[in-house]
Amino acid sequence: MTTVVSAKISDELRKKARMHHLKISEVVRKAIENEIRKIEEESLSKDLDKIGRVLRKNVSSNEIVKAVRSSRNER
Nearest to 30 by CA among 18, 42, 38: 38
Mean pLDDT of 8-34: 96
* Residue 35 banded pLDDT, cuts 50, 70, 90: very high
Long-range contacts of 4-10 (CB under 8 A, 24+ apart): none
Asked if residue 75 has pLDDT above 80, the reply is no
The conformation of residue 59, written as its DSSP 8-state character, comes to: S
% of the chain at pLDDT higher than 90:
67
pLDDT score, position 73? 81
Domain ranges of the chain: 13-74
pTM summary value: 0.66
